[in-house]
Amino acid sequence: MSSARNLSVALRRARVPKPRCWVRPVITNRASVLAARSFSVSSVVGGNATREIKYTTNAYPELKRNPNFAEITERDVTYFKELLGAQSAVIDGVTTDATDDLEPFNADWMRKYRGHTKLVLKPHNKEEVSQILKYCNEKKLAVVPQGIVINTSRMNKIRSFDEASGVLVVDAGVILEVADQYLAERNHLFPLDLGAKGSCHVGGNVATNAGGLRLLRYGSLHGNVLGLEAVLADGTIVDSLSTLRKNNTGYDLKQLFIGSEGTIGIVTGVAILCPPRPKAVNVAYFGLESYDQVRQAYKEAKGHLSEILSAFELMDGRSQKLVHESTGSKYPLEGEYPFYCLVETSGSNAEHDMEKLEGFLEHIMGEGIVADGVLAQDETQFQSIWRWREGITEALSHLGGTYKYDVSIPLPELYQLVEDCRERLTKMGFVGDDDSFPVRAVVGYGHMGDSNLHLNISVRQYNKEVEKAIEPWVYEWIQKRNGSISAEHGLGLAKKEFIGYSQNDTMLKLMKQLKTLYDPNGIMNPYKYI
């Protein structure tokens, strides 16, 4: 970053020649910085990757297997093998020893959950998914996380793309980055970007209603997904794969599958509206003295950058220190600040965008809202700046365990949760610099533009007392402010008992009604929230 222009100096000189604007038509490589950023549940992440992961049934002894579920038999396996044909479509740990092949399907990347699955099925199309579910439903065989895993990686075709309308239709198992690369070659962009793009499936993104880095600009999947194809527990194929922007003919049922975490059906196909790929992308990075100034900077960014603003990310000083210590990289700015922001613009005219961005920078520097800043001058600097945001999760994972909370809080109090949590844990004697303290740091970062905070508590080791000090305190704190205990990560297993902090009894009752309607035997993701 040494060649990155220091804004405070440049702006003090005033009216210096315009910086070169880096035009960057493709934005696909950035995610490789962090191939496995969490978009999952809150969790303690073990620092030692080789350490054995506990079976979830041991870690959560209160979870009891539903006695109505059947055990998989040899006969079931024979049925599935005949159904799916291809050798590669079935990993059979029932009649053979396939422990090693099954392991990746039984453990999650955060190393918190481990299942007992003995059978992985990889159907090739929706009809096979339908046959599998119909059979499982009749035989009361549970599907994920115990019992049978249905993996969609073989359903990986890009079905169609229409340049005129920007509508892409893909199988559920297409990897997000593959879809985006395909679109890049056609001057379009997938309207979702997140750290895990190199490995996550589009179907999974939809099933979990993933948010990510540019929701601020392109909106949520509820708006962008035009059609879905899904299979219900009884094998019914729901073909609602419309590619139309407007279709007001009855209830918009596909919406129910977006964010339902596989509890009412399996998504097999997705039609999504994709915007033209921006011709120019710029990124700036600032240091700020207070959270109030962060809010002011965000307000000014909305006003000055308006339609070209594509990301406004917040990182606190501690989070950046962790990245610094973990990567050894030189800080982008000279001094250290309690808050940092990353502002990205995406537009169709590089010169216009730079002019808007400079107007914004001049204003926030002139008003003293930001203390210092840099502007990426080329792609290397662009990647490097983004790494200070996207590298936080990885930096944390090197340090021991992390309690992760992904929450929505109205902007005025967004960062207050981090302060309050730090104060609480400090007063309780948990936080300190040497190894006698369980908590190393309480850090906050996230998507400022979406009121979405990632609260991370970095611990030297897993500690029940620390956990008790955080939960349910953190959920109560959020409930009081009408926030959400899960902004974009979903509930999964870890937060299922806390849903009541963000949904009232009526909503829960209505959700249970729907779960019963679509999955009367409860075979779909049986440990999930409903």
Residue span binding a second copy (CB under 8 A) among the ranges 170-178, 243-251, 336-344, 459-467: 243-251
Residue 238 makes contact with a second copy by CB under 8 A: yes
DSSP state for residue 175 in the 8-state scheme: B
Shortest Cβ distance from residue 504 to a second copy (Å)? Answer: 6
Of 252, 325, 378, 476, the one binding a second copy by CB under 8 A: 252
DSSP element (H, E) containing 439: strand 439-447
Point out which residues pair with 439 in neighbouring strands: 431, 459
Q: Give the nearest distance from C-beta 276 to a second copy in angstroms.
A: 6
Instruction: Tell me whether residue 38 or residue 408 sits nearer to a second copy (CB atom).
Output: 408
Contacts with a second copy by CB under 8 A: the residue count is: 89
Q: Between residues 319 and 451, which has the closer beta carbon with respect to a second copy?
A: 451
Least spacing, CB of residue 380 vs a second copy, in Å:
26
For a second copy, give the closer residue by CB, 227 or 400.
227
Which span (68-76, 89-97, 169-177, 249-257) binds a second copy, by CB under 8 A?
Answer: 249-257
Give the residue ranges of DSSP H helices in 308-349.
317-327
| Alpha-helical regions (H) of 3-123 | 7-13, 56-59, 74-84, 99-106
Would you count residue 308 as binding a second copy (CB under 8 A)? yes
CB 492 within 8 A of CB 40: yes
Both tokens assigned to 347: 């537009």
Site for a second copy in 163-222 (CB under 8 A): 163-165, 208-209, 211, 215, 219-220, 222
Which of 66, 290, 327, 349 lies at the binding interface for a second copy (CB under 8 A)?
A: 349
Q: Read off the tokens for 27.
A: 């934005």
CA terminus-to-terminus distance, the chain: 48
Q: How many angstroms separate the CA atoms of 443 and 439, rounded? A: 11
For the record, the structure tokens of 20 come out as 């070169």
What residues between 467 and 526 interact with a second copy by CB under 8 A?
482-491, 495, 499, 502-504, 506-508, 510-511, 513-514, 517
Secondary structure class of 405 (helix, strand, coil): strand
Using CB atoms within 10 A of its CB, is residue 121 exposed (0-12), middle (13-18) or buried (19+)?
A: buried
Place of tokens 């049986």: 526
Among 46, 145, 198, 259, binds a second copy (CB under 8 A): 259
Name which of 211 and 373 has its Cβ closer to a second copy: 211
**Residue 299 Cβ vs a second copy, minimum distance, rounded to whole Å:** 6
What is the token pair recorded at 487? 């902004």
Strands annotated E in 276-430 = 280-288, 309-316, 339-347, 372-375, 401-408
Give yes or no for a contact between 396 and 458, defined as CB atoms under 8 angstroms apart.
yes
Residue from 14, 249, 433, 435 binding a second copy (CB under 8 A) = 249
The residue (of 38 and 451) whose beta carbon lies closer to a second copy is 451
Residues of span 106-145 touching a second copy by CB under 8 A: none
> Is residue 368 a contact partner of residue 412, using CB atoms and an 8 Å limit?
no
Tokens of 28: 């696909």
Neighbours of 58 (CB within 10 A): 9
Q: Are 229 and 238 in contact (CB under 8 A)?
A: yes
Site string for a second copy, 9-48 (x = CB under 8 A): ----------------------------------------
Measured distance CA(527)–CA(530) in Å, rounded: 8
In this complex, which beta carbon is closest to a second copy, that of residue 80 or of residue 218? Answer: 218
Q: How far is the CB of 472 from a second copy (least distance, A)?
A: 15
As measured in angstroms, the least distance from the Cβ of 253 to a second copy is 6
Residue 331 CB, nearest approach to a second copy (Å) = 29
What number of CA atoms fall less than 13 Å from residue 39's CA on the CB side? Answer: 27
Q: Which of 111, 112, 201, 295 binds a second copy (CB under 8 A)?
A: 295
Q: Using the rule CB under 8 A, which residue among 38, 137, 224, 319 binds a second copy?
A: 224
Q: Is 450 in the site for a second copy (CB under 8 A)?
A: yes
Q: Is 305 in the site for a second copy (CB under 8 A)?
A: yes
State which of positions 372-411 bind a second copy (CB under 8 A): 408, 410-411
- Interacting span for a second copy (CB under 8 A) from 149-157, 285-293, 343-351, 431-439: 343-351
Three-state secondary structure of 448-483: HHHCEEEEEEEECCCCHHHHHHHCCHHHHHHHHCCC
Nearer to a second copy, 223 or 429 (CB): 223
Q: C-beta of 405: minimal distance to a second copy in Å?
A: 13
